């Protein structure tokens, strides 16, 4: 049975036409699912019962099952189990401008970034559109709040699950649904160049963040194996092409790792690499995890790096440190939970 949370608006219209129904019923169904957040398909208003019963026969409304929830001052982390028992994570971040939710896109990840906890879990499978959407719906329902920003920066590489992620974006951006506009959705990639180029032309695309983490090939290849396939120069060319097509700035994510990528000369190299105002650099304090051997850069070192970029007229921000009290590094809650189960 197909999960209705994986259905795009166009697919829903096609389904109705196949039943001999009018497409005009689609707005009521989508609004029931995403705006009124009904618990049963039989509760959709303004639709006759015979059609509602047919919907109930044809579709499920299954959401991820909560396994564990941890609370911090400004974050809540969720460990979910999917129907096949796979574990994924999502992190809710409460900010002045609204509630941001960081969601997972895969079970595990094959990118093997050296500093990333989730990279220790090899990819099992891609998440389906309904499993992406389900993370949002579950949290909105259970916490009685509205998610205003979505970030695909949890477990997995979104562009390694390109088709399902694009379908998910189409679902959550529809005005009869969650109505999350492009400026409220950010997709983060470690640098899959063909998908970056494809994404720039997609009508449902949101903002793009590229996990750069080093301005030179030697350091970046040590941290991120993907760089051996798509080196820094090729990645930046694709990013600039995306900027030209989409007309939006691209965020360059830069995790600050003590004595690895936080030297002033690397800040200058990064400034030279950017060379224009079409990128926004986001310096991220490293969320330390067990057994990975990396240390968060000192605040003094981060400020020094920041100052070099500012002097070169680079748009740069320093991200607030979220979630250290709730094991919010990607994959950390899952790793702790699985360790406990084995004891």
Catalytic residues, by residue number, are 89, 330
Whether the CB-CB separation of 21 and 51 falls below 8 Å is answered with yes
**In the 8-state DSSP scheme, what is residue 106?**
E
CA distances for 45 relative to 35, 49, 58, angstroms: 12, 10, 18
Token digits of residue 40: 């049963």
Residue 116 CA, chain-centre distance (Å), reads 15
Residues forming beta bridges with residue 87, ordered by sequence position:
81
CA distances for 213 relative to 40, 88, 236, angstroms: 45, 24, 13
The answer for 75, left when phi > 0, alpha when psi is -120 to 50, beta otherwise, is beta
Which of 162, 149, 173 has its CA nearest to residue 106? 162
What length does the chain have? 343
CA atoms within 13 A on the CB side of 33: 34
Whether the CB-CB separation of 251 and 210 falls below 8 Å is answered with yes
């Amino acid at each position: 049975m197909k999960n209705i949370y994986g259905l795009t608006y166009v697919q829903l219209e096609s389904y109705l036409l196949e039943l001999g129904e009018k497409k005009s019923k689609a707005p009521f169904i989508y609004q029931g699912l995403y705006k009124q957040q009904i618990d049963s398909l039989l509760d959709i208003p303004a639709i006759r019962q015979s059609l509602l019963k047919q919907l109930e026969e044809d579709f499920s409304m299954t959401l991820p099952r909560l396994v564990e929830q941890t609370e911090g001052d400004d974050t809540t982390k969720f460990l979910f189990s999917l129907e096949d028992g796979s574990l994924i994570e999502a992190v809710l971040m409460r900010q002045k401008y609204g509630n941001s939710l960081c969601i997972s896109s895969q079970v595990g990840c094959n990118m093997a970034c050296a500093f990333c906890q989730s990279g220790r879990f090899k990819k099992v499978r891609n998440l389906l559109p309904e499993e992406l959407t389900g993370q949002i719906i579950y949290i909105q329902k259970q916490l009685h709040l509205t998610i205003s920003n979505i970030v695909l920066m949890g477990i997995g590489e979104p562009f390694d699950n390109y088709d399902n992620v694009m379908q998910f974006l189409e679902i959550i951006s529809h005005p009869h649904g969650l109505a999350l506009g492009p400026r409220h959705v950010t997709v983060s990639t470690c640098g899959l160049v063909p998908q970056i180029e494809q994404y720039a032309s997609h009508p449902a695309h949101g903002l793009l963040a590229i996990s750069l983490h080093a301005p030179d090939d030697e350091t970046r290849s040590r941290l991120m194996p993907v760089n051996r396939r798509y080196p820094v120069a090729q990645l930046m060319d694709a990013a600039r092409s995306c900027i030209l097509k989409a007309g939006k700035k691209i965020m360059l994510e830069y995790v600050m790792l003590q004595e690895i990528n936080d030297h002033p000369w690397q800040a200058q190299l990064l400034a030279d690499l950017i060379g224009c105002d079409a990128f926004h650099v986001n310096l991220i304090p490293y969320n330390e995890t067990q057994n990975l051997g990396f240390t968060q850069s000192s605040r003094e070192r981060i400020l020094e790096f920041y100052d070099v970029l500012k002097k070169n007229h680079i748009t740069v921000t320093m991200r607030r440190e979220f979630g250290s009290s709730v094991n919010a590094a990607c994959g950390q809650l899952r790793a702790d939970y699985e360790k406990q189960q084995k004891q």
